Structure 1
Amino acid sequence: IIAALLERHDAYAVCDEVYEHLVYDGRAHRPLMTLPGMRERCVRIGSAGKTFSLTGWKVGYLTACPALLTPIARAHQFLTFTTPPNLQAAVAYGLGKDDSYFNELSSSLQNRRDVLGKGLAEIGFGVMPCGGSYFITTDFRPLGFSGTDVEFCRHITAEARVAAVPVSAFYESGHVDHFARFCFCKEEASLIEALDRLRAHFAD
Structure 2
Amino acid sequence: MQPLSKRTETFTDSVIRRMTRIANACGAINLSQGFPDFDPPEALTKRLSEVALTGPHQYAITFGAQNFREALSDKQFHFSGLRYDPQKEMVITCGSTEAMMASMMSVCNPGDKVVLFSPFYENYSADTILCGATPVYVPLSPVDLSFDANVLESAMAQPGVKALVLCNPANPSGKVFTHEELSIIASLAVKYDLYVITDEVYEHIVFAPHRHTYIAMLPGMFERTIECSSLSKTYSITGWRLGYVLAAEPVMERIKKVHDFLTVGAAAPLMEAAVTALRFDDSYYTGLQAHYTHMKDVFTNGLRNLGLRFTEPQGAYFVLVDISEFGYEGDEQFCIDMAQKVGVAAVPGSSFFREPVDHLVRLHFAKKDETLYEALNRLENLKKLKR
| TM-score, length of structure 2 as denominator length | 0.50
Task: Classify the secondary structure of the residue corresponding to 1:71.
Answer: helix
Alpha-carbon contact 1:19-1:51 (below 8 Å) kept = yes
Q: Which residue of 1 aligns with 2:352?
A: 170
Please, what is the CA RMSD of the aligned residues? 1.8
Aligned equivalent of 1:36, options 188, 205, 219: 219
Q: Matched residues in 1 for 2:197 and 2:376: separation? A: 38
Aligned: 1:196 with 2:380 = no
Aligned equivalent of 1:159, options 323, 328, 341: 341
How far is the alpha carbon of 1:61 from its aligned partner?
A: 0.9
Of structures 1 and 2, the one scoring higher in RCO (CA 8 A, sep 6+) is 2
Gaps in structure 2 of 5+ consecutive residues: 1-183
Aligned: 1:180 with 2:361 = yes
**AA partner of residue 135 (structure 1):** F
Q: Which residue of 1 aligns with 2:98?
A: none
**AA partner of residue 334 (structure 2):** F
Alpha-carbon contact 1:113-1:136 (below 8 Å) kept = no
Give deviations 1:91-133, integer Å, cap 9, x for gaps.
Answer: 3332222222112112111111111111112212111121011
Report matched runs for 1:20-169 at 5 Å.
20-142=203-325, 144-169=326-351
Task: Classify the secondary structure of the residue corresponding to 2:229.
Answer: strand
Residue correspondences, number:
202
Q: Matched residues in 2 for 1:50 and 1:167: separation? A: 21
Q: Matched residues in 2 for 1:13 and 1:175: separation? A: 26
How far is the alpha carbon of 1:65 from its aligned partner?
A: 2.0
Alpha-carbon contact 1:48-1:60 (below 8 Å) kept = yes
Q: Matched residues in 1 for 2:375 and 2:320: separation? A: 15
What is the percentage of aligned positions where both structures have the same residue?
37
Task: Classify the secondary structure of the residue corresponding to 2:344.
Answer: coil
Alpha-carbon contact 1:145-1:152 (below 8 Å) kept = no
| TM-score, length of structure 1 as denominator length | 0.91
How far is the alpha carbon of 1:145 from its aligned partner?
A: 3.5
How far is the alpha carbon of 1:201 from its aligned partner?
A: 4.6
Gaps in structure 1 of 5+ consecutive residues: none
Alpha-carbon contact 1:125-1:139 (below 8 Å) kept = yes
How far is the alpha carbon of 1:170 from its aligned partner?
A: 2.0
**AA partner of residue 162 (structure 1):** V
